Structure 1
C-alpha cells in the first residue's frame, strides 16, 4: 500500500494480531457502547473478498495497474431490494489490516466497521461478518475504514443500490463511479499523499476515470427519461456536476436524490451555476430527459477550466409517449428531528498542529479507556481538527473522548462551521441527517449523510440520535487521517 506523505506506520503483526488472523471468523465485539444486535435473520448472504487485480487505467495500449477491488470486480455493485437483511462475509485478502464500512446505511453500531471503536481490525487472511438492514432505498457504497488513503486510493470501493419497487419506471439507468488515480507512466502508483496536499486541499490524481475508463458512451431512448446514479468515490476531489443537451428538443436535467435519499425534483439550471457541487463520498441521482430529436447529452465536471466530460448519452430508439415532468422518487421515510425540542450543538472545522492539539483522555472507567487505535489507522502528522480537538496521529494511539454525548431517540440540531480555507465534506456514520440551511444560501433542504461545507460557511443539520459510538469526520481522506475526525457517544 502506498501512503506517502500522510505517513501511515505499518502494523507489526504481534501476538494479539496474529491470534485473529488466518481464517478466523470474527464475531462483533462490543468494544465501546455498541449494543447487542436485535434478532436478525439474513435474507441475502454475500461474500466480499478484498484483493488485487489489474486494470488498464492509463489506456488500452498502456501498462496495466495493480489495483484493489472486491471479488476482482472494479466497483463491485450489489443490487438488493429494500427490506433485505444483508449478511456480508468480509474476507481480507490484503497484506495489511482492513474493515468494511457500509457508507450511509443506518445500522447497528457494532457493524459500522470502525476499528477500535466498533470492532477489531480484520488482519490479513481474517474474516468478519456484517449484518446490515437495508431499510432505506437509494444509492450507497462500501469501503474500508483504515488506511483509506491507501486502500481506497488504490480502488477498494463497491456500490450498494437498494431498490424500491415504488420507484417510477425510467427508460434507462446507468451507474457512474467517478475516481482519480495517482499513477506513474509505467502504471505503478505514486505516493497517495504528500504533506503539501494533506495540509491543504488534498493530494490529487491526474488520471481521471468513470467506471475505470476515461469516459463512457451511454444510451437512452430519444424523449425518454434516464436515471443516472453518480458517485464521487475519489479520495480528494470536489466536483461540479452538470449536464448539457438540446433545450429546444426538450432536454432537461433534474436532481432527484442526494446521498440516496429522494428530494422534490430540482432543475439543475435552478441551482447556483447550474451544477451540483459534491465532495468525496457524496452521491446524486439525476433524471435526464433526453432530447426528442435524438441529439446527445453530455455529463461533466465543470469545477476546473478544463471541463472533464465523463459521459455522453446518445439516443437509441425512441419512446412512444414522452412524459412531461420529472420522475419523482417516493418521499424519504426517515426519522425527522423535532426542531422545537432539539438539543443545539456547534462544531468548528479547523486547521491544527501537533503542538496545538489538546491532550485529552477518556475517563479511566470508560470501556475504551485502554483501547489503542491500530497504528495502520493513524496518520503521522496533525494538520486538522474539530472543535480544537484532533484524531490521534503519530505515536499517540489513545482514543480521544467523544466530541459530544447524546441521548438515544433525542433530536439534535448541529451547526458545522468551516473556519479553514478549504472545503470539507463532513460525514456522520449511522445516520441520515436533514440539511436545513446554509449561511451561503446555496443548498436546498434535503436529506444526506455527507454535507460539503465551503470555506467560511456554516451549515445546519438535524437528526434523531441512534445508539452507539459513531464517528464524525471529513471525507477528504487525508484530512480525516491527519486529524479531522471525532466521535459521538449516544446512549
Structure 2
C-alpha cells in the first residue's frame, strides 16, 4: 500500500509524482494536475457482486451482477479542485483495476495493467490518487476483463461540479445512463462476447435499459424551465443517435467539456451520435405544465425512447413562459490546449487484422516495460483489429507490445485517424482532453473538446493534444474491439 504522504509528495511546482509501482521500476514522470495543497476527500470503494432483479421485480434475480459498493448505477460527485484518495478493494472473484475515464490524473493511477499498475487480485487493495482539475461528467470502470465486468454492471458515474456552472441558470438536471444487458429468460447471463460480434459491430445486449429501468423514466421538471440533460453511454457496444422531439434544445458539452451551444437543428441530421464511454450535455427548454419532451435514440429501426421530461407547474416559473429561448453556455473549459502552429503530425489507420502483429519499434531491452506481461484475463482470445498493423497482445503473445510512438512531454501533436473498416470506432485517448479538429464526413461540425471521438467507416478524423508525460493507451471503446486488438499506447517523456 502506498501511503497518503507518498501520494502527495513530489515537486509542488511541477506537480510530479515521484514514485512508481515496484513491479514496473523507473518510468516517465507521472504529473499531478492539482497542487499538493488541494483539498482531499477520502473515498472507500469496493468492487463486489450482488444479486439483482434486472428483468423486473417479479422476474428471477440475476446472479453475479458486478457493482461498486453493491450499488448499481452508483454516482460519485465532488467539487472541482478536489483530490480523491480512493482506497479500492477487490472483492470480485476475478482480477480488476479502476480506470478514471476522462480524468487528467497521474498516469500511475490510470488503472491499465501492466503499463501503470499490476492487476488488483481478489482480496487485494490499491490506493488511487485521483485529482479532479476539470468540471464535467465522467465515469470510472475496470480496465481488465472490461467486456465482462462492465457488461455485468461494473461502472460508476463521476460528476465534478463547478460553482461557476450555477451562473448558467439551469432550473433542473436530469441524468440518462444507457446500458444494455445480455440475459436469458431465467435472468442469468448470456455469453458476453461472441466471435461474430467481436469481429463486427460488437455483441449487443438483448435487454435495453435507461438508468437500469426497462421502461423509459419519466422525470418531472419545471414547466418553462431550462433542463440540463446529461447522458452517458455506459454500454460496451451500443451507439445511439441522441436527440429529442423539440426544437428548443442545444448541445452544450461533450465528454464533460463545455461547448459553445449548438442548436440541435444545426447538427448533422439533428442528432448527436454517441458511442460507448461518450457523454453529452444538452439544454432543453420545457413547454407549459402538463406537456412533455421525449428524448430518443433515433439510430434504432424505430426511435427508442430513453426518457420523458414532464413539465410541472413550479412557483415562480410562470414569468419565464414569456422569455424567448436563449442558449445558456457553461463556463469555458480550462484544459491544456495544443499549439496547432507547432504541432507534429501522426497518421494511423484503424483496420482489420489477420492476426496479432506489431510493426512499431520495440522498446529497448533494458526498458522496465520491455518484458511486462499482460494477464490473459485482461485480453480477448483472438485478434480482429489493429492500429496501423499494430495489435494488442492476445493468446500466446502476452507481452506488452511496443508503443505506437514515443512522444515528447509538452509538445503538441495532431493525430489523423482513418477508419478503413466497415464499422464505427469510438476512439479514446487516456489522460488527455483533445481538440477534435475535423470529421471528413461532417465538414460543418464545429471543433470541440473530447476524450473519445467517433470515427465512422471510411472517415478521417483529426484530433490535437498537448502531450503529458506517461504511458497512455489509445483504443476503441467498443470493448470487444479493444479486447481483440484495437488498442495501442504512447510513451511520453
Q: Provide the TM-score with structure 2 as the length reference.
A: 0.91
Where does residue 319 of structure 2 map in the other structure? 321
SS in 1 for 2:382: coil
Which stretches in structure 2 are left out of the alignment for 5+ residues? 8-18
Distance 2:375 2:220 in 1: 46
Q: 1:33 aligns with which of 19, 22, 27?
A: 27
Where does residue 283 of structure 1 map in the other structure? 279
Where does residue 17 of structure 1 map in the other structure? none
Superposed, which structure 2 residues align to 1:151-170 within 5 Å?
151-167=149-165, 168-170=168-170
Where does residue 463 of structure 2 map in the other structure? 461
Give the conservation status (yes or no) of the 8 Å contact 1:470–1:489. Answer: yes
Where does residue 112 of structure 2 map in the other structure? 114
Distance 1:263 1:110 in 2: 30
Query: What is the CA RMSD across the aligned residues, in angstroms?
Result: 1.9
SS in 1 for 2:154: coil
Change (3 A) 1:111 1:241: same
Give the conservation status (yes or no) of the 8 Å contact 1:34–1:110. Answer: no
Superposed, which structure 2 residues align to 1:210-289 within 5 Å?
210-214=210-214, 215-245=216-246, 252-289=248-285
Tell me by how many angstroms 1:390 deviates: 0.2
> Does structure 1 residue 57 correspond to structure 2 residue 54?
yes
Q: Structure with the greater relative contact order (CA < 8 A, sep ≥ 6): 1 or 2?
A: 1
Tell me by how many angstroms 1:100 deviates: 0.5
Change (3 A) 1:34 1:111: farther
> Does structure 1 residue 187 correspond to structure 2 residue 219?
no
Give the conservation status (yes or no) of the 8 Å contact 1:230–1:283. Answer: yes
Change (3 A) 1:466 1:330: same
Where does residue 11 of structure 1 map in the other structure? none
Change (3 A) 1:344 1:360: closer
Distance 1:431 1:349 in 2: 20
Deviations 1:31-72 (A, max 9, x none): 263435657455101111111122222123211223111011
Deviations 1:389-438 (A, max 9, x none): 10001111111111011111111111011000000000000000000111
Distance 2:255 2:360 in 1: 35
4+ long deviations beyond 4 Å: 25-28, 36-39, 355-360
Where does residue 176 of structure 1 map in the other structure? 176
Which stretches in structure 1 are left out of the alignment for 5+ residues? 1-19
Distance 1:33 1:182 in 2: 40
Deviations 1:443-477 (A, max 9, x none): 32100000000000000110000000000000000
Deviations 1:224-282 (A, max 9, x none): 0111110000100111011014x5xxxx1110000000000111121111110001000
Give the conservation status (yes or no) of the 8 Å contact 1:223–1:294. Answer: no
Distance 2:56 2:386 in 1: 39
Q: Provide the TM-score with structure 1 as the length reference.
A: 0.91
Aligned residues: 463
SS in 1 for 2:45: strand
Tell me by how many angstroms 1:357 deviates: 5.5
SS in 2 for 1:128: strand
Where does residue 391 of structure 1 map in the other structure? 392
Tell me by how many angstroms 1:170 deviates: 1.5
SS in 2 for 1:166: helix
